[in-house]
Structure 1
């Protein structure tokens, strides 16, 4: 690649950071530019997940879609991949297999030789890493390392921008919740108050003036319909955007990270395997049940740790919310919240199981059929 083509490739990567593209598209542009600029056969960029030990993003270049599917699930943070997520120093090897942390590559994985890895850093924090292998014209050298460091800097900007966007979005979510609460208070709550007064008036008139009682019951019916319509107007369209766009695991990850920041309790998510997409009503039901379970644990259980576990069991997708709090009293099993959660799970063919001991915490388990 001559100097003009090199400059054009680098310019493309730089402009991608400021373009209105998704983070994954920007990272893919940077990976592709790195592979072309350094004349490597293979390139990848990994961004670690904070909770699962896997990667939140892992983009590759030089591997066909068919090869990538044959390789299998995304790699986890181990071996050489993990070295560059823990140590901010770049790593340049003539033979990747000579490194003491080299482990293996999966079946169908291309065979790698020379290797250049560059952590993506922001201050003292390592945000991810760039990995290049099999240089076509010799071995990676110091100039390649310097160029890859520049690209890693642009990747860091993209990731920091994405993080800032996510935080601003979380603030928007909280503002939207406040707006909905105000609407509920200003309109629906007032109508429900009027409905209650009118129902009381009708009850008082039943024995001494049945005709007026019938009129008041008509008002009750009208107020109930108006309240129902206003609730529906508030709720319609509130399907979590993250669930619809990214799936249950990603949406729960964002919810858990937000709750972990705003509550004293430690809130974590454990995902042990790839999570399949489900029908929208099933994903929504599971998400809403988990939301309610998290709310109960954080508001009422006095828990120090709340753990959300997401996994596949037989023909069901299972989510468990486990806390180390006060536990449930016998009367709590029939509470409106648990009744609503159970009803929501059963509405999509699933089931809810709650186990608890006083002083030893609570586990809420929702199972939703995959097929």
Structure 2
């Protein structure tokens, strides 16, 4: 019998024009007026598909119904991925052993690809006659007759139903085609509802992952551990081969840094996904994370492209990037907020450590050093009054030991009041050095009182504060004839420095160039300064500037 020829196009109500339909001998078999005995079976199949909201179940029932209603030996349905190719492939008629021998199942090329490229019904007497045919892989059953119809949902092609090898060796008829088109149209409605349900579930899963990632980031664990857990959670939720959370701008993968610095999630196909941890051709999901206008991080996830995995129980699913980018954007917003909270927690913890260090340093200075000084002066006076030389020598040695002890305590205070590489340059250390140096001019060491975290004061502001303390102490040494001086430093929204003495006050004829310099430093920073005599005696110099 001669090979079949392509028939003319026919249009069914409510369906697009058909691709060439082929039947034996050029006849359109089955288009007659006899009653359709399969109508009840078709209606049963439609009802069966409409009663479930799970896409996987609907697809399985669609393939099974297609085989039953058309008499096909084999059936399959290829679901188109949102970014091209087949995302899912459901098949029926092949046993598990045959599937295992075949290995990778179709990815939408050859005859299957022809139906994808031209989404119209296609009937063939012999698959090998189709110009798009590329043959079968090893161990694949040889299939001859073929019927393919598109499955539409919301006006777009969702996938294609493939039926092969009509039982008895006959060709698929026009009536088979009509039944398959009707079945596919009904399945499209059911799939539309099922897909909407799946999108709701996907949105819920993204919300669940957002809660899990937030818990990981705000748990108080080291940031590196929390970031690694976020990557693992995203991989588990999306089926990605690799996923990473980047929290440093200089750590972004090359080639995608611009996308991760943008404002909305994007999906890209990369010729080489090695930068994401997926060698070779890969799909990439790139999610910039922003807190308001501020960039706080970026999330990457990658999937191998054109790789079909997970063939089980007649179903093959190809993991790929999500198509609901609106839910991904919401997830990104929650992740950015969690990173912000984690950063605030870290800042609070560091501030608490600094405050405790400041408190210890303050207590050491105010309580220990002052007492040691007093003891040293008493011992020194006793040594001068000692009659026996050996006693005077021992008391002198004790004074020297006390001086060394004071130096050691001061060194400890300096280390407590400074940060890492800035040791020896912190505000408390520098003011304390000025206080100690003032002993030469005053004859005694002034008291130093600090309140707040001096380590947070910027270096340029600290420079001015140190100069103010130096100038104020020099004025006291020159004019006040004081017996006690107190230096106070308070750090809050403003930096306040006060130098108070119990001397004779500021003489009217005193040179005020130094005080003018103090006032100029305050004015340049939008602050204030004052110098005045106190009613109870002595004077007070006060200098205050706002902190950035």
TM-score (norm 2): 0.36
Q: How far apart, CA to CA, are the structure 2 residues paired with 1:242 and 1:271?
A: 23
Cα distance between partner residues in 2 of 1:271 and 1:27: 32
Could you tell me how far 1:134 is from its partner in structure 2?
1.0
Structure 1 residue 81 corresponds to structure 2 residue 147: no
CA shift for structure 1 position 144: 0.4
Query: Residue 40 of structure 2: SS of its match in structure 1?
Result: helix
1:267 pairs with 2:267:
yes
Do the aligned partners of residues 270 and 47 (structure 1) sit closer, same or farther apart at CA in structure 2, a change above 3 Å counting?
farther
Tell me what 2:69 maps to. Answer: 37
User: Matched residue pairs, number?
Assistant: 240
- Structure 1 segment 55-134 matched on structure 2, within 5 A: 55-122=86-153, 124-134=155-165
Bigger RCO (CA 8 Å, 6+ sep) = 1
1:248: which partner in 2?
A: 240
- Which secondary structure state, in structure 2, belongs to the residue aligned with residue 248 of structure 1? coil
Distance 1:267 1:301 in 2: 20
1:15 aligns with 2:48: yes
Q: Indicate if the aligned counterparts of 2:242 and 2:303 stay in contact, CA closer than 8 A.
A: no
Q: Secondary structure at the match of 1:89?
A: coil
CA contact (8 A) 2:125 2:144 kept: yes
Is the CA contact (8 Å cut-off) linking 1:43 and 1:61 kept in structure 2?
yes
1:300 Cα shift? 4.7
Per-residue deviation, residues 140-188 of structure 1 (Å, max 9, x unmatched): 1111011101221233234323331233234435655787899999xx7
* Residues 110, 134 of structure 2: 8 Å contact kept: yes
- Gaps in structure 1 of 5+ consecutive residues: 189-226, 230-234, 253-258, 273-282, 284-289, 312-335, 338-371
State how far apart, in whole Å, the 2-side matches of 1:48 and 1:302 are: 32
- 2:195 is paired with a residue of what secondary structure? helix
Q: Distance in 2 between matches of 1:151 and 1:17?
A: 11
**Alignment check: 8 A CA contact 2:213 2:233 kept:** no
Cα displacement (A) at 1:67:
0.8
| Structure 2 counterpart of 1:50 | 82
Shift of 1:50: 2.6
Correspondences of 1:1-371 after superposition (within 5 Å):
7-8=40-41, 10-19=43-52, 22-51=54-83, 53-122=84-153, 124-137=155-168, 138-173=170-205, 244=236, 247-248=239-240, 264=264, 266-268=266-268, 294-295=287-288, 300=295, 308=302, 310=304
SS in 2 for 1:11: helix
Cα offset for 1:90? 0.3
| Greater shift in the superposed pair: 160-169 or 176-185 | 176-185
From the superposition, tell whether residues 93 and 27 of structure 1 become closer, same or farther in structure 2 (CA, over 3 Å): same
Q: Secondary structure at the match of 1:33?
A: helix
Instruction: Considering fraction of residues, name the structure with more helix.
Output: 1
Larger Rg: 2
Please list the CA deviations of residues 183-228 of structure 1 after superposition, one character each: whole Å capped at 9, or x if unmatched: 999xx7xxxxxxxxxxxxxxxxxxxxxxxxxxxxxxxxxxxxxx75
Give me the CA root mean square deviation. Answer: 4.9
Q: Distance in 2 between matches of 1:177 and 1:245?
A: 7
Matches of 2:164 and 2:116 in 1, distance apart?
17
Q: 1:270 to 1:30 in 2, by over 3 A?
A: farther
